[in-house]
Amino acid sequence: MSESIETIEAINNRHAREQALAAMNRVRVEPTSLVNYQSCGRVAVIGDQQAQEIAPRLNETLNPIVILTEGAEEPGAPVIPVGGRDIRLEGYLGAFRIHLGEPGRSNAESVAVDLILDLTPQPLMEKGMNPPGYYHSTSEEDALSPVLEEVAQMTGSFEKPRYFDYDPAICAHGRSGKTACTRCIDVCPADAITGLTETIEVNSYLCQGGGACAGVCPSGAIRYVYPAVKDTLARLRKLLSIYREAGGKNPVLLFHAASDDPLAQTMPGNHLPVMVEELAGVGLDVWLSALAYGARRLLLVDGGAMPPTVAIAMREQLRTASEIVAAMGYPAGVIRLTGTEALDEAGQETMPDIQPGGFSGIGGKRQSIYLAIDHLHAQAQRPKPMAALTTGAPFGTVYVEANACTLCLSCVGACPGKALLSGNEGIPRLRFIEADCLQCGLCTRTCPEDAIWITPRLLFDAENRNQTRTLHEESPFLCTSCGKPFATRSVIDKIRNKLRGHYMFRDERALKRLTLCDACRVMDIVQDTEAIGGGLDGEIRQ
């Protein structure tokens, strides 16, 4: 009897999966802009003597030039001998440059080409994601023939989606000359992101849609837009709702990259595959929302092609997700990274049956995360009031050493998330909203007194998380002449202590001038004949 019941449930799950996948695929995905490449077919074949033999095979559709690493020149394709010079490659389809020799040297040379066929033993480009138009192959015919066929087709105009969107206003890369967050730069497998003084720059032509940058960004300044997160969440919500309506039980989501197909192997009927451009393109906001929508488990299926830097970043995000989920009282392993060959061994921890959430993903990244967390927390049986997180998590609090803080508020100007705020009503005060803290560390780097430190954590109570609380405040210092508030006592005391003994502040009148507001200070200087006259000049001349 039990076997027949299990069989019926499995059949129902498969039928429900078919309906759910069809419904998900009907959800409209907002298109993105396109990046255009132009190739005229000028290809550089880089290698030894064999490169000269292989280059003529491309003559029918391309214009080959040989960059000869060693050996004698032979008649045929144009040849540029390397002659012991270093080789450096940069660019992308239609805009490659091959640099030979050190810049500035008399023998340095630069060659512009559209395509590169690299036949050297070790690839001259070894990025996690090499740019379009670069090919590496051995000279073995089995490996070489398909590469030559593909290269021969690479002339004309080509398009790819623009995968990202960037909002510099909320970027935590840098402020006030200080650099803090470099997560997107560190994780990008295509080396498409570079840091500027306070923002970043993304090369659309090098970007291959790996998506890890959006996953690790603490503020959502860089976002994946093909598909956009709101579209991905809409598809997941539709998938899970139709699956339940069709009688499906215990849904398990399998996120996989477009290049990996877990459906190629037999899987239980309750496993729902969700194809994404790249596995790293989905992160905390998508994972936690999927659990809130009713998924019992999430399996992130890696086919083995994930670059090492991306894998490290994903594991760090998984650790944060596990810490958050476990602190709410749910099983820590409900979100797992696994290989295609080990799906059956991916663990059996599951979420309890909860009321599915109905929120959308039309807000920012952090809003989606908090909506998911609030929904999950509201249905948790024994949640903790707070999740203690590992260093590097994008949530946390700020502490201030009151004896050291002078309320200069340089931290307020540096905070990209607007988590640190100045006072109001003329009262010197440093305020803080924990929900907006990115834990980027710009405040700690900017503080001239080293009075600030940060600690990662996540408060589950939304009211506490969003309330504005005071970290430090002082009574305003009043001008000793007119009584106008113009600074804090700690600032005045610090300035007076630093300048005491300075040649310009040796007499009491000059030192007392530091306790005056701007207007009274000017008036006092004008009335001080020693300051206006030659007294100070005499000191300088001595």
pLDDT in tens, 444-460: 999 999 999 999 999 99
Tell me the sheet residues that pair with 202: 193
Name all domains of the chain by residue range, CATH numbers in brackets: 2-29+227-384 (no CATH), 37-158 (3.50.50.60), 162-224 (3.30.70.20), 396-473 (3.30.70.3270), 477-541 (no CATH)
419-434 average pLDDT score: 88
**Mean pLDDT taken over the chain:** 90
User: Do 32 and 161 meet the contact criterion of CB atoms below 8 Å apart?
Assistant: yes
* pLDDT band with cut points at 50, 70 and 90 for residue 540: very low
Q: Is the pLDDT of residue 304 over 50?
A: yes
Among 234, 266, 238, smallest CA distance to 251 is for 238
Q: Is the pLDDT of residue 77 over 80?
A: no
Predicted pLDDT of residue 252: 95
User: Do 395 and 439 meet the contact criterion of CB atoms below 8 Å apart?
Assistant: yes
Distance of CA 518 to the CA centre of its chain: 45
294-323 average pLDDT score: 94
Burial class (CB in 10 A: 0-12, 13-18, 19+), 182: middle
Q: Which residue has the higher pLDDT, 365 or 477?
A: 365
* pLDDT band with cut points at 50, 70 and 90 for residue 157: very high
Predicted pLDDT of residue 487: 78
89: helix, strand or coil: strand
Least-confidence region, from 164-168, 418-422, 533-537: 533-537
The C-alpha atoms of residue 106 and residue 542 are separated, in whole angstroms, by: 55
* DSSP per position, 389-402: --TT-S-EEEEE-T
3-state secondary structure labels for all residues of 335-359: EEEEEHHHHHHCCCCCCCCCCCCCC
* DSSP per position, 459-499: E--HHHHHSEEEEEE-PEEEPTTT--EEEEHHHHHHHHHHH
Beta strands at 429-433 and 468-473: parallel, antiparallel or unpaired: antiparallel
Predicted pLDDT of residue 255: 95
Q: Is the pLDDT of residue 263 over 70?
A: no
Q: How many CB atoms lie within 10 A of CB 455?
A: 13
Q: How does pLDDT run across 39-56, given as a tens digit for each residue? A: 999 999 999 999 999 999
Least-confidence region, from 139-153, 168-182, 432-446, 484-498: 484-498
